[in-house]
Amino acid sequence: MHHFHGSCHCGNLEVDYSTAIAPADSAVRACQCSFCRKHDARAISDPDGTIEIIVNQPDLLERYRFELGVTDYLLCRKCGVYVSAYSQRDSEAYANVMVNVLDARAQFPAPGPVHLDGEDELGKWQRRAKNWTPATMRILGQ
């Protein structure tokens, strides 16, 4: 297993990503939605891996939502960095991680564009349950 640690710029939001996929073999995705394009986001995930999001200061976590409103785009309110997209239904959650926040970001290859427009809520959930990484969120100080 490979273990990758990452964080937003100020360290409020941290991510621990474990995967059997080596960085060079990772399929890095540049989502072409209006939000991801503004961040020049590069995302990775592994359905056989795990992601833990650690929130050090809960009041500085932004769960930005748009369009269907079924996804939490996790941003730090202090430094503005986009860390992860997080999708939860009941106790089940899947996430991806933005390569740009990982300490090892330079090891990952260039992204390929993906277009995901036109999905409905169920379609999004089914794709994420298949392709994204099982995720947990640990909120400290609560």
Is 10 a binding residue for Zn ion by CB under 5 A? The answer is yes
- Stretch of residues binding Zn ion (CB under 5 A), selected from 10-18, 29-37, 102-110, 125-133: 10-18
Q: What CA–CA distances, in Å, run from 42 to 5, 82, 97, 137, 141?
A: 16, 10, 8, 21, 30
115 CB-near residues (< 8 Å, 6+ apart): 32
Nearest to 28 by CA among 85, 105, 80: 105
Contact between 8 and Zn ion by CB under 5 A: the answer reads yes
Report the residue number, 44 or 55, with the smaller CB distance to Zn ion: 55
Q: Does the footprint of Zn ion cover residue 12 (CB under 5 A)?
A: yes
Phi, psi of 127 (to 5 degrees): -65, -40
* Contact with Zn ion (CB under 5 A) among 28, 79, 104, 129: 79
Q: Are 14 and 54 in contact (CB under 8 A)?
A: yes
The helix (H) or strand (E) run that includes residue 92 is: strand 92-95
C-beta of 8 vs 44, nearer to Zn ion: 8
Q: Find the part of the chain contacting Zn ion (CB under 5 A) among 22-30, 62-70, 72-80, 97-105.
A: 72-80
CB of 77 to Zn ion, least distance (A): 8
The residues binding Zn ion (CB under 5 A) are 8, 10, 12, 76, 78-79
